[in-house]
Amino acid sequence: MCGLIGLLPGRDKGKAENSPAREDGERDQRQCQSTSAQVGVHLPYGTFTRLPVLNLGETLIMTATFRAETTPTLIVRQEDERILQYMCALVSWAQPKQVRCIVFAENSNTRFDFSSIVRYLEAAGKEVEVLVFDGNKEAARFGKGFGEGEILEHIYNNSVLIRQKTTFYKVTGRIFVRNFDLVSERTTAPIAFHRQKSKAGKRAKANTVFFKCSLQLFESRLLYCYRQVDEPNGVQFENLYFDQLVDPVPPDFGVPPEFVGQQASTGKVYGEYGPEIVERARTFIS
C-alpha cells in the first residue's frame, strides 16, 4: 500500500520530505491540486501526493494550460477542445508499460475534477501526481514558451514523484508518443533532445514537445532559462534550450518518437487519436 503525504496551503514546502526549498525562501501561495483515487481522496486545495513503494519504470511529466484565452499565437484556444485533447493524451499514456509515474501540471488554476482520470491511470499501474496552480500571467506578454517554462519550474519545486528517479521524460500535455516503450528501450542515455540547426534565417532550436532530461542538467542549465523568453522579439523557448544544450551536445533519441495529437500553436496534427480513445476521454469530462 502506498503512503500519503499532504501539504496544506501556507505550509513551507521546503520543509517537506523530498521537496526542495525555494532559494528565496518564499512560500508558494499558489493553489496545487492532486488526487488519490485508490483511497477515495479528492482535495481541491493544497497538495496531496501518493508515494510509491517501488518505481521500476520511467517518470513522465506533462505540461498543461486548460484556459489559454490570453496566450498569443494559438490555433487550439477553446477550453473544451483543449481539455478533450488533454484527456485523450492521458487515456493514451495509460498504455505504455515503461511509464511508471505521471506528473500532470496545469497552470490556469482549473477547477477540473481529475479524480476519475486518476483512478483510470492507477488501474493501469501508474503512480499519478496532479499539480494545479495559478500561473500563465506573463504568457500574454512574452508568449506561450514562458508559461511552459513556468510549469516546468513549478514541477521541479513541488513534485514528489519527479524525485523518485534521476531522469524524466517531458511531453506537452496534449501529445502522446505512440512508440514510447521502444523509445525508452533504445534511449539509454540520461539525456535526449532533438536539436535543429539554424536554417533560412531562423534561429536553431531544440524540440521541447518531447525530451528526456536528468534532474542535474535541468537544474544546472534549463530550470530558469525560460525567463528570457520574449516571443514578440523573436526569442523562443526552443531557442534558449538549444543554446544551453552544448558542451557536450546531448544525443538524440534511439529511435524517432511517433507523436499523436495536435500542435496548439500551428494547428499541425501529428496523428489522430482513435475514436475509442476520444470516446473514453469524453467519459472523464463532466
In a domain, residue 8? The reply is no
* Residues 106-154 pLDDT 10s: 999 999 999 999 999 999 999 999 999 998 888 778 888 899 999 999 9
pLDDT tens across the length of the chain (286 residues): 332 222 323 333 333 334 333 334 333 333 333 333 332 233 332 343 444 434 479 999 999 999 876 666 666 668 899 999 999 999 999 999 999 999 999 999 999 999 999 999 999 999 999 999 998 888 778 888 899 999 999 999 999 999 999 999 999 999 999 999 999 999 999 999 999 888 877 889 999 999 999 999 999 999 999 999 988 898 889 999 999 998 899 999 999 999 999 887 777 889 999 999 999 999 999 7
Task: Provide the number of structural domains found in the chain.
Answer: 1
Q: Which amino acid is at 128?
A: V
In a domain, residue 65? The reply is yes
CA angle 81, 86, 88 (to 5 degrees): 95
In a domain, residue 24? The reply is no
In a domain, residue 9? The reply is no
DSSP string covering 23-46, please?
Answer: TT-----S---EEEGGGTEEESSS
**Beta-strand pair 58-64/167-172:** parallel
Domain that residue 69 falls in: 30-282
- Of 71, 85, 9, nearest to 46 (Cα)? 9
Whole-prediction pTM: 0.80
CATH number of the domain residue 140 falls in: 3.90.550
In a domain, residue 197? The reply is yes
In a domain, residue 15? The reply is no
In a domain, residue 6? The reply is no
For residue 233, give the DSSP letter: G
What's the CA gap between 83 and 104, in Å, rounded? Answer: 13
In a domain, residue 38? The reply is yes
Phi-psi region of 283 (alpha: psi -120 to 50; beta: other; left: phi over 0): alpha
